[in-house]
Amino acid sequence: MSTYPLPQQEALEQPTTAPTTGAAVHPEPNTGIDSKKLGMWVFLASECMLFGSLLGTYIVYVGQSVSGPLPQDLFNIPLTTLFTFVLLSSSLTVVLADQAAKQGNIRKMRFWLGATVALGLSFLGFQVFEYSHFMAEGLFLRTNLFGSTFYVLTGFHGVHVSIGVIWFSSLLISSLRKNRRAVSATNVELAGLYWHFVDIVWIVVFGVVYLMADI
Amino acid sequence: MTDHMEHHHDAESQPTKDHTRQYVSIFVLLGIITLAEVGVFYVDALQSLLVPLILGLSAIKFLLVVMYYMHLKADHKVLTLFFAVGAVMAITMFVIVPWIVIWQYA
């Protein structure tokens, strides 16, 4: 059974510029920004380029399909709007979990992390339902250019949502097991940044892929 | 056993301040903008303006999440710079490149 870390272990997490032991310490970064946070933002910038290229490919090829089914035959806008709300709601629960973590309120943080996991799983359930419906209508990865680009774009997004759900689940489990190091406010913030990025990708996908389907 | 966790704060953050009302307001705004997008999709009279309206409304939602939920508005400017470079390259790839390709084949 995991317990709270020992004081010596906690001390290893404290940034210091004057190490007194041979143990690993975190020196003050030159930028004045937490290195983990800086690394996450650089990672998210690279993710922007990944999804930018996937969206660009979708836009170029979506109108080039020579056979159906086509987007306007398949998309269910009211249902997709509902699940867009689900993902937007998860961004609210994440930011509230982040705030609770910074305030040191672990009970609230657990509640909002649990809510985020539930909303993320709901969104994934929607994606499974949507894919099974599209496949029943005859749209597969190889059916046409719309199928190829749609499944690759939304599939990559779904994988990112899945990683986020696993990440938040691990934070929630760690907090329930009283593993304070794993659920530091910084770790919750990093997971939150990742999740908000997944949300903003969906904001663009919803507009460009679903609402501009008839263009 | 305590129910309070170990946490370290950045110089810029204000850990004790409660932003719940602001976060909920942003969420409501995001919901209203999403409904407006869907409204534009269903209104025939707005079909000629569909692309600029959807892109504009999506951009507003994008900025609201990045500035308030991801805290870029109050965070270090270097982080904004990094993310802006990635975002500009992404916009180049999904707006300008497709436009050039489609224009070439038109």
Joined tokens for residue A63: 């109108």
Measured between CB atoms, which of B1, B7, B55 is closest to A185? B7
Answer yes or no: do A101 and B4 touch at CB < 8 A: no
Confidence at residue A23, expressed as pLDDT on a 0 to 100 scale:
45
Lowest mean pLDDT among A56-60, A191-195, A201-205, B64-68: A56-60
Answer yes or no: do B89 and A206 touch at CB < 8 A: no
Residues in A touching B38 (Cβ below 8 Å)? 77, 81, 211
Query: CA angle, corner B24, sides to B19 and B29, nearest 5?
Result: 125
pLDDT at A213 over 80: yes
Confidence at residue B105, expressed as pLDDT on a 0 to 100 scale:
74
Measured between CB atoms, which of B26, B66, B86 is closest to A49? B86
Residues in A touching B5 (Cβ below 8 Å)? 101, 104, 106, 109, 175, 180, 183-185
Cβ neighbours of residue A180 under 8 Å, at least 6 residues apart? A4, A5, A10, B5, B6
A 168-187 residues with CB < 8 A to B: 175, 178, 180-181, 183-186
ipTM for the predicted complex comes to 0.84
pLDDT digits (tens, 9 = 90+) for A37-63: 999 999 999 999 999 999 999 998 888
Q: Give the integer Cα–Cα distance in Å for B106 and B97.
A: 14
Confidence of residue A27 (pLDDT cuts 50, 70, 90): low
Would an 8 Å CB–CB cutoff place A79 in contact with chain B?
no
Would an 8 Å CB–CB cutoff place A55 in contact with chain B?
yes
Query: CA angle, corner A32, sides to B89 and A183, nearest 5?
Result: 85
Cβ neighbours of residue A145 under 8 Å, at least 6 residues apart? A61, A62, A64, A65
B 26-85 residues with CB < 8 A to A: 26-27, 30-31, 34-35, 37-38, 40-41, 47, 50-51, 54-55, 57-58, 61-62, 65-66, 69-70, 76, 78-79, 82-83, 85
What is the pTM (predicted TM-score) of this model?
A: 0.85
pLDDT digits (tens, 9 = 90+) for A85-125: 999 999 999 999 999 999 999 999 999 999 999 999 999 99
Over range B17-44, report the average pLDDT: 95
Lowest mean pLDDT among A69-73, A160-164, B39-43: A69-73
CA distances from A102 to A41, A95, A106 (A): 19, 11, 9
pLDDT at A155 over 80: yes
Please answer whether residues A86 and A122 qualify as being in contact, where contact means their C-beta atoms are separated by less than 8 angstroms. yes
Residues in B touching A199 (Cβ below 8 Å)? 65, 69
Answer yes or no: do B38 and A180 touch at CB < 8 A: no
Confidence at residue B7, expressed as pLDDT on a 0 to 100 scale:
47
Confidence at residue B25, expressed as pLDDT on a 0 to 100 scale:
97
Answer yes or no: do A10 and B5 touch at CB < 8 A: no
Confidence of residue B106 (pLDDT cuts 50, 70, 90): low
Joined tokens for residue A127: 């994606």
